[in-house]
Structure 1
Amino acid sequence: MASSAQFPDEQNDDGNFDRQGDAFRDWVRADGSSDYPAESDRYHLYVCYACPWAHRIIIARELKGLQHVIGLTAVDPWRDDHGWAFREGDGFSADPINGFAYLKEAYLATDPDYRGRHTVPVLWDKHTQRIVSNSDDDLLRMLNAEFNAFAARAVVDLFPADHRDEIDRINAIIYEKVNNGVYRAGFATTQDAYEDAVAPLFATLDALDDRLSRRRYLVGPRLTEADIRLFVTLVRFDAVYHGHFKCNVQQIADYPNLGPYLRDIYQHPGVADTVRIDHIKTHYYGTHLEINPTGIIPVGPELDFDTPTPRDRLD
């Protein structure tokens, strides 16, 4: 028996969730080769702390030391029928740049004919008054490389040249099986679609757990974007994906290596401040009413990301 879909336009006849593509993919370039040159205080990020795709960009901005270069405004994690809203609250606020009430206004200001879903993150150009990009993949690379002239920690390189091929390879696996895999399980509207997502999700988690038994980070000797991409799913897993999305074969805390790895990344300087479990639980349980019709937000689980982990011995 099929259930109702969270996003009907992205649900196929077999009950599978097919995520929409990114609509805006212009680039900020340090060398001035695009319509969007790298400048300080020209661009502004619209994000949501609940969203894993936006969380990647929040982390990159923090690790690169770009807080004084690119502004940031978080939307209310409680998404209603009009989409992401700008409201005053704990960790989110009204829009100080354009006075938008809803994120969809940024999309329609950029393309009045836009009819897709209004997603975060968004990089807004204050000069041209339009969206530069809503692609978290592209934005992660932009923040890593194109603003180095202004970055407080330009030395941080999340996409080092000598590991790029391996990072791209493992990124593709993590996206398909893990990052998007939890959504394909949670938004599935048939039993077969759900099981087709859960099986490869946990097979991949098992393989990653084994990989991390021999190395501190996924690729190379330092934290890279591959770790950030995996972290944003892992940090949400036990709180929402395990129960709400029915990804309940095993909790991340119970894995011998993924659990300590999650804590290791969380304890990396600057990362913990980007994690808002309250926003995460409010958004998933409170707004996915096709999955959780009562909208009740659970009190648990109890999460421990602060216990020291000896993973530095793997360096």
Structure 2
Amino acid sequence: MSNVSPAKGYSRDSRYITTRITADGRDGFPVEPGRYRLVVSRACPWAHRTVIFRRLLGLEKALPMAIAGPTHDKRSWTFDLDPGGRDPVLGIERLQEAFLARDPAYDRGITVPAIVDVPSGAVVTNDYAQLTLDLSLEWAAYHRDGAPDLYPAELRPEIDAIGEEIYADVNDGVYRTGFAKSQEAYEEAYGRLFARLDRLSERLEHSRYLVGDTITEADVRLFTSLVRFDAVYHGHFKCNRHKLTEMPVLWAYARDLFQTPGFGDTVDFGHIKQHFYVVHGHINPTGIVPAGPDPAGWLTPHGREALGGRPFGDGTPPGPPSPAETVPPLLVPSRP
């Protein structure tokens, strides 16, 4: 969801459905294992957050997941990866159908992630920023044994503060750079993006994670942008002061997370590239999807263990993903 003004540049339309699924059901939707379906696309960085949280917290059985294809048209994300082009549980071809079941006059963006109430077939929420917080707090009764605390109470003010900075300048900043309609708007967004990346590099130079000594919500929010940086944002969105691989601290930090269970095993570079280069026809009118970059570097040693820290705190890593949710392995080109 977005708006673009030649003078002001790009601004995200944040009019989401903010109904919440809570332990006490105060919005009319109590947490119930199996009642809801999380709809995502592996291409979308906002949806990717929920995929990582669901894996780390072990909510796969409690909150089943539907995976939309990497591309969409003006109407909606579609379930073209499923047999017959329909989600096997919801029975719909397009996510739009679930939004219209909630509100027949719905006129806002059809976005992922979205959680659908299976009995009614209607979307409950697409408020991605609140979703991961609620997976941490409201769904706690159904976390796996050994699930990490990704939003510890004593660190929440710091996590929230740095999360707002990451959102404004990085998560959304790459879009404001890539979708700018004037040189002035582009340069303003570009400057903010790389100034923030520089500050994050300084913060992470002597600290393995962004807040405290374990992985938190803040790390997940930054990772989903970093993992797309060289594949999409550097060229497609003209975020080209440096590649991620040319920013040593952030590159090592991103590799550390990528090699942590629950992060790299949720990344599908094929879906990511196909989405951005095909859907954004106004930026890439040929629709050509680049063959690179070489993904081999994601599996190289990062050396960040020397900084200490415990990725999962007092918890444990998640087990391997189910066969139905396993992404294709990295295709590492052979060397001459």
* Counterpart-to-counterpart distance in 2, 1:196 and 1:145: 37
Displacement of 1:154 in angstroms is: 6.0
Displacement of 1:11 in angstroms is: 1.2
Match of 1:272 among 264, 283, 286: 264
> Superposed, which structure 2 residues align to 1:139-288 within 5 Å?
139-153=131-145, 155-288=147-280
Residue 4 of structure 1 corresponds to: none
Displacement of 1:102 in angstroms is: 1.1
AA matched with 2:111: T
> Superposed, which structure 2 residues align to 1:129-140 within 5 Å?
129-140=121-132
* Counterpart-to-counterpart distance in 1, 2:166 and 2:90: 36
Residue 317 of structure 2 corresponds to: none
Displacement of 1:101 in angstroms is: 1.1
Aligned to 2:166, the other structure's residue is in SS state: helix
AA matched with 1:105: E
Work out the number of aligned pairs and report it: 307
Identity, % of aligned positions: 45
* Counterpart-to-counterpart distance in 2, 1:82 and 1:15: 26
Residue 11 of structure 1 corresponds to: 4
Structure-2-length-normalised TM-score = 0.88
Aligned to 1:140, the other structure's residue is in SS state: helix
Aligned to 1:211, the other structure's residue is in SS state: helix
| 1:36-56 Cα distance to aligned partner (Å, 9 max, x none) | 111110111110000000000
AA matched with 2:65: L
Displacement of 1:83 in angstroms is: 2.4
* Counterpart-to-counterpart distance in 1, 2:252 and 2:217: 18
Given that 2:6 and 2:180 are in contact with CA atoms closer than 8 Å, whether structure 1 keeps it comes out as no
Given that 1:148 and 1:154 are in contact with CA atoms closer than 8 Å, whether structure 2 keeps it comes out as no
> Superposed, which structure 2 residues align to 1:29-178 within 5 Å?
29-88=22-81, 94-153=86-145, 155-178=147-170
* Counterpart-to-counterpart distance in 1, 2:220 and 2:194: 19
* Counterpart-to-counterpart distance in 2, 1:276 and 1:25: 28
Aligned to 2:39, the other structure's residue is in SS state: strand
Unmatched runs of 5 consecutive residues or more in structure 1: 1-6
Unmatched runs of 5 consecutive residues or more in structure 2: 309-336
Given that 1:79 and 1:287 are in contact with CA atoms closer than 8 Å, whether structure 2 keeps it comes out as yes
AA matched with 1:277: F
Given that 1:75 and 1:93 are in contact with CA atoms closer than 8 Å, whether structure 2 keeps it comes out as no
* Counterpart-to-counterpart distance in 1, 2:86 and 2:62: 20
Given that 1:74 and 1:93 are in contact with CA atoms closer than 8 Å, whether structure 2 keeps it comes out as no
* Counterpart-to-counterpart distance in 2, 1:75 and 1:93: 10
AA matched with 1:135: D
* Counterpart-to-counterpart distance in 1, 2:298 and 2:247: 14
* Counterpart-to-counterpart distance in 2, 1:105 and 1:203: 41
Given that 2:15 and 2:108 are in contact with CA atoms closer than 8 Å, whether structure 1 keeps it comes out as no
Residue 3 of structure 1 corresponds to: none
* Counterpart-to-counterpart distance in 2, 1:87 and 1:203: 39
Structure-1-length-normalised TM-score = 0.93
Structure-2 change in CA distance of 1:242 and 1:98 (3 Å): same
Deviates further, 102-111 or 224-233: 102-111
C-alpha RMSD of the superposition:
1.7
AA matched with 1:205: L
Displacement of 1:312 in angstroms is: 1.8
Given that 2:56 and 2:147 are in contact with CA atoms closer than 8 Å, whether structure 1 keeps it comes out as no
Match of 2:290 among 285, 292, 298: 298
* Counterpart-to-counterpart distance in 1, 2:113 and 2:210: 24
Displacement of 1:96 in angstroms is: 1.7
AA matched with 1:150: Y
Given that 1:234 and 1:262 are in contact with CA atoms closer than 8 Å, whether structure 2 keeps it comes out as yes
